[in-house]
């Protein structure tokens, strides 16, 4: 095509509307890309002194955190130990006692450790004397929790009742001077009523329970009396003992269901099981034969066996 044609350039440099828009958009994109780095330029590096101070503060915080953690772990372990020690020391039977005359067996019964018992007995043997209940706090190996547990039960012979004693303490002291150890299988209602915290109703309930059982073979059975608070039992247990009087036993080779069920530990189900087993296997040769009865557990056997006989 000859170059004399004046419109040839229009074929190369003329644009449609869509092409012009595309060119404009492309130019805008190029400008944006060119200017973008200026908006995200790297900030100036922080001052060295500021960085150093920040690092020192972080180091201090970490040191405090470690110290607090060690402190916390130490006391958690100590508290756990103390809790278990207190839990262990809380074991023991509470009863009225004189620390000046208490034996090793008495202290053991009260739940003290061998080390503490040795310290107390050594103190007394060398002429030491407890003049008031609070003197227990002077025994360095006796935990405060144990001392506070025992102080209300201290009764020192010849000591006067303090003015700040509670009415309950004065009453208990009066009872201690008035009564002696009683046989739970021979005591009548008046003897039980002489114990601190035992009135006519509780005294009668103890005797009724004793008659239904056929007698007590352990002082701890008194605690099973209906309506008797454990706190009251702890107060009177030191006055109770099992005398020579034996308990009434039931011959399981001749007893009827009605005979057996009268005992609160046996009841109708066990009574019926014993009689049925006897009718199927003839007479019992030993008391332990009742353990062959599936209905009777080991705990049942321990409770009822003292009340049974085979002849």
Domain-by-domain residue ranges, the chain? 89-166, 179-241, 250-309
* Burial (CB count within 10 angstroms: exposed 0-12, middle 13-18, buried 19+), residue 108: middle
- Assign a CATH topology to domain 179-241: DNA polymerase; domain 1 (1.10.150)
Measured CA angle at 218 (ends 148, 186), to 5 deg: 105
The token pair at 107 is 């202290």
Residues 6 or more apart whose CB falls under 8 angstroms from that of 201 comprise 227
pLDDT in tens, 207-239: 999 999 999 999 999 999 999 999 999 989 889
pLDDT in tens, 46-80: 566 666 666 676 666 655 555 444 544 543 444 43
Unique residue bearing structure tokens 């039977």: 93
pLDDT in tens, 126-179: 888 888 888 888 887 888 888 888 888 888 876 544 444 455 454 444 444 455
pLDDT in tens, 252-298: 999 999 999 999 999 999 999 999 999 999 899 999 999 999 999 99
* 89 and 145 Cβ atoms separated by less than 8 Å: yes
Neighbours of 90 (CB within 10 A): 12
CATH of domain 89-166: 1.10.150
The token pair at 41 is 């330029």
- The helix or strand, by DSSP H or E, that contains position 309, with its residue range, turns out to be strand 308-309
The token pair at 280 is 């199927």
Single pTM value for the model: 0.45
Residue 158 CA, distance from chain mean position: 38
Report CA-CA distances (Å) from 218 to 19, 96, 126, 246.
113, 19, 37, 11
Report CA-CA distances (Å) from 262 to 211, 218, 246.
10, 19, 18
Report pLDDT for 255: 94
- Measured between its terminal Cα atoms, the distance across the chain in Å is 145
Tell me how far apart the alpha carbons of residues 39 and 171 are, in angstroms, rounded to a whole number: 92
89-166 and 250-309: same fold?
yes
Tell me how far apart the alpha carbons of residues 55 and 11 are, in angstroms, rounded to a whole number: 70
Please tell me the class of the 250-309 domain. mainly alpha
Report pLDDT for 158: 63
Tell me how far apart the alpha carbons of residues 50 and 47 are, in angstroms, rounded to a whole number: 5
């Amino acid at each position: 095509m000859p170059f004399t044609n004046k419109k040839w350039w229009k074929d190369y440099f003329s644009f449609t509307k869509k092409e012009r828009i595309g060119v404009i958009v492309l130019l805008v994109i190029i400008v944006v890309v060119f200017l973008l780095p200026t908006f995200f330029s790297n900030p100036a590096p922080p001052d060295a002194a500021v960085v150093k101070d920040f690092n020192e503060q972080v180091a201090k915080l970490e040191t405090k955190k470690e110290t607090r953690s060690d402190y916390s772990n130490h006391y958690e372990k100590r508290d756990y130990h103390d809790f278990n020690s207190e839990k262990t020391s809380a074991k023991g039977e509470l009863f009225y006692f004189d620390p000046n005359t208490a034996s090793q067996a008495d202290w053991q019964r009260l739940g003290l450790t061998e080390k503490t018992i040795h310290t107390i007995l050594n103190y007394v043997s060398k002429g030491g004397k407890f003049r008031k209940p609070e003197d227990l706090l002077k025994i360095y190996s006796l935990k405060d929790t144990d001392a506070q547990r025992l102080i209300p039960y201290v009764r020192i012979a010849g000591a006067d009742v303090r003015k700040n004693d509670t009415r309950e303490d004065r009453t208990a002291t009066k009872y201690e001077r008035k009564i002696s150890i009683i046989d739970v299988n021979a005591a009548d209602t008046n003897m039980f009523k002489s114990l601190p915290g035992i009135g006519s109703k509780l005294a009668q309930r103890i005797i009724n329970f004793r008659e239904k059982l056929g007698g007590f073979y352990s002082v701890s059975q008194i605690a099973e009396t209906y309506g008797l608070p454990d706190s009251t039992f702890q107060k009177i247990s030191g006055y109770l003992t099992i005398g020579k009087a034996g308990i009434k036993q039931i011959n399981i080779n001749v007893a009827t269901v009605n005979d057996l069920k009268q005992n609160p530990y046996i009841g109708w189900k066990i009574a019926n099981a014993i009689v049925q087993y006897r009718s199927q296997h003839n007479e019992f040769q030993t008391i332990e034969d009742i353990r062959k009865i599936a209905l009777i557990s080991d705990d049942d056997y321990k409770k009822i066996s003292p009340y049974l006989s085979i002849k």
